[in-house]
Amino acid sequence: MTPTSTPQRASAPATGASRLLGPAAGTDVAAHAAAFGALPALARTKRGHAGPLVAEIERSGLAGRGGGWFPTGRKMSAVVASSRQARKDPAVVVNAMEGEPAASKDAVLVHRNPHLVIDGAVLAAQSIGATTVHLAAHRGSRALHDLQKAVAARGGSDPVELVVVDGPDRYVASEESALAHLVGEGIALPVTVPPRVFESGVRRRPTLLSNAETYAHIALVARHGAEWFRSVGDPAVPGTTLISVGGAVGQPGVLEVPTGTTVRQILGLAGGTTGSVSAVVTGGYGGAWASAGALVDLPWTPEGLKPAGAVPGAGVLVVLPDDACGLVETARVVRWMAGQSAGQCGPCRFGLAAVSSDFDLLASGRMKGAELRLLQGRLGVIPGRGACRHPDGAVRFAATALEVFADEAHRHLSGRCSAGRRTAILPVPSTSTPLPVSRPGEEWR
C-alpha cells in the first residue's frame, strides 16, 4: 500500500490497493500486456446501443474520479441514449489535463501505465458505439509526451482511432464543456450548459468525457468484472482511488488506497505529518478547507467527508502545518483562481477579482470588520452564476477558509497574524498562457 509497491501478475488481480499503480509497465505494449493481461476483445456496438460492458460498469459502482464522483455506468448509458435520440455517433474524451496545481495523480498514472488508461477509453468507445478516442493533456506536459509515446507504441492496432490533443495550461481548460470545445473546435473555453457534454459535446456529438483514472478503472472492470471491482473500498463508491498528498507530510506523492480509507490512514501511508497540523485542503483549489481535527477520522468518500465540509474532488489532500497562515495561503490561491477565470461570465470575472482583493486585505491585516462582512456577502452571491463551475469551486475554497480560519481572521482584523512562517505551502503556478479571446468592446485598450 505504498506508491511504489511490487508488481502483481495479471493472472492474480490484486484485491488490495495497488490496482492502477502496482505494476509500472510504461509505454511498452508487451510489458503492459504481461502486467495486466491483453486488451479484452469487444465488438463495437451499433449507434444508440450499449455494449455489455456498460451494464458491467453500472454493476461495478465505478464513480468518476475527476471530481464529480458521478456513476460512470449511468454516464455511459446517458451518452448512448443521447446518441440514439440525436442519431449521431458519440465521441470519447480522456481528461488527463490535471488542472489542479496540487494534483499529480493523472500524470503519475499516465506515466506508469498509460496503456491502462487507453485500454479503458478504447473499451468504453466500443461499448457506446464511438469510433474515435480523444486523449487530452496539457501542452508541454510529461503526460502529453507519455500519451503520444503510448499511442505510437500501439501502432494503430486498436479498433478505434486514437487522437492526442494538447490543451493550454489554464485551469478552466479542463472543465468538461471547455475540453469538449477544445477537442471539437480548438477553443479551450467553457460553453453555456445545457446542453451538457453527454448530450452535445465534441462537434455536437454526445460525448463521454471522463478523467484518465476513471478509464483505467474501466479497463480493469472489463478484465476482472464488477464483483472483483467491488471487493475493495466503500460500497457506495467502491474500488481504489488515487490521491495526491502534499504539504506537511513525510513523503508527499501519489497514493492508491481503497475508497473509504480514513484520512488518518492516508496521512500515515504518506509518511505521517511533520509536526502539528491545523488544517487540510481537500479536493483541490476548487475544493474545500477542513480543520484537521474534524477531518482526520473520516473516510475518503464524497459522503464520508461531508461532516467536515470536505470533498474528495480530484483526489487532492494538502496538509497545512500550524505555523503557516491559512489566510495568506488562501489569498495566494484565490488570486490565482481569479486569474484562471475565462472571463466570459460577469459574476466570475468581477466577483472572483473582488474576492481576491478582499483576501489580500485580510491576509495582510489591513481589513476592517465591515469589509469582512462585505466579503461574506460576496461569497454568497457568486455561486451558481457562471456557465461552468469555476466560480463555485473558487468561492467554496474561499468560504471554507473563512470558517476554518475564523479565529485567525479575527486576529488579522486587529492587524495580527499568529503564523511564524512566510514560506508558501500551497503550490501556485507562476505563469499562465493569456486568454484565448479578445473581449468584445475592449479592442481599444
Partner 1 sequence: MSGHVVTIDRIKCDGFGTCAQLLPERITLDEWGYPIIDAAPVTGSELSHAKRAVNACPRLALGLAKAAHPAPAGR
Contacts to partner 1 by CB under 8 A:
190-192, 194, 344-347, 350-351, 354, 378, 381, 384-387, 441
Return the amino acid letter for 71: P
Closest among 182, 216, 4 to 97, alpha carbons compared: 182
Please, which residue, 272 or 380, has the CB nearer to partner 1? 380
Closest among 336, 288, 286, 289 to 169, alpha carbons compared: 336
Please, which residue, 181 or 412, has the CB nearer to partner 1? 181
Q: How far is the CB of 327 from partner 1 (least distance, A)?
A: 23
Q: How far is the CB of 439 from partner 1 (least distance, A)?
A: 10
Q: How far is the CB of 189 from partner 1 (least distance, A)?
A: 9
Residue 215 in grid coordinates: 478509464
Please, which residue, 156 or 441, has the CB nearer to partner 1? 441
Q: Is the peptide bond before 194 cis (omega within 30 degrees of 0)?
A: yes
d(CA 1, CA 157): 34
Please, which residue, 173 or 216, has the CB nearer to partner 1? 173
Q: How far is the CB of 199 from partner 1 (least distance, A)?
A: 11
Q: How far is the CB of 345 from partner 1 (least distance, A)?
A: 4
CB 389 within 8 A of CB 349: no
Alpha helices in 191-259 (DSSP H): 212-224, 226-230
Q: Give the residue carrying C-alpha cell 477509453.
A: 121
Full DSSP string of 300-369: SSHHHHGGGT---TTTEEEEEETTS-HHHHHHHHHHHHHHTS-S-SHHHHHHHHHHHHHHHHHHTT---H
Please, which residue, 378 or 396, has the CB nearer to partner 1? 378
Residue 223 in grid coordinates: 478484465
Residue 316 Ramachandran class (φ > 0 left, ψ -120 to 50 alpha, else beta): beta
Q: How far is the CB of 210 from partner 1 (least distance, A)?
A: 22
Please, which residue, 7 or 347, has the CB nearer to partner 1? 347
Q: Which run of H or E residues covers position 135? A: strand 132-138
Please, which residue, 46 or 445, has the CB nearer to partner 1? 445
Q: How far is the CB of 55 from partner 1 (least distance, A)?
A: 25
